Amino acid sequence: MTDTPNARHTIFGDQHDRILERLARLDPDLATYIRDFAYDTIYDRPGLDLKTKELIACALLTSLGSPPELRTHLRGARRAGATDQDIRETLLLCIPYLGFPRVVAALAHLQDMTE
């Protein structure tokens, strides 16, 4: 796949092709929807910087409790310029809204990626 670098390339980094191939094996149309709608339509909207978008994504995935996507966007936040402290602050900010269990789970994923 060759295309102009955009948010999707930054977020997925060197895992870009592997992630899209994994999604295409699940369902080719799913991979197309994620690439064309989720990333190239929604994520590429102007306005917010990519780092802010990825911190918001990390908070939403903490709420959903979806481990694979959370790990993808914890890495994506780093690739978009967030420090681990930025990510940590985002997850701690979820406590008053979501309670502790979801935040503990998200911080455990962050720790797994750091060790």
Contact residues for a copy of itself, defined by CB under 8 A: 23, 25-27, 29-30, 33-34, 37-38, 41-43, 45, 47-48, 52-53, 55-57, 59-61, 63-66, 68-69, 85-86, 88-90, 92-105, 107-108, 110-111
The radius of gyration of the chain from alpha carbons, rounded to an integer in Å, stands at 14
Distance CA 39, CA 7 (A): 7
Interior CA angle at 84 toward 72 and 41, to 5°?
A: 40
Nearer to a copy of itself, 16 or 93 (CB): 93
Shortest distance, CB of residue 32 to a copy of itself, whole angstroms?
9
Nearer to a copy of itself, 5 or 47 (CB): 47
Q: Phi, psi (5° rounding) for residue 2?
A: -120, 125
Q: Which amino acid is at 109?
A: H
Residues 6+ apart with CB under 8 A from 32: none
Shortest distance, CB of residue 54 to a copy of itself, whole angstroms?
10
Shortest distance, CB of residue 11 to a copy of itself, whole angstroms?
12
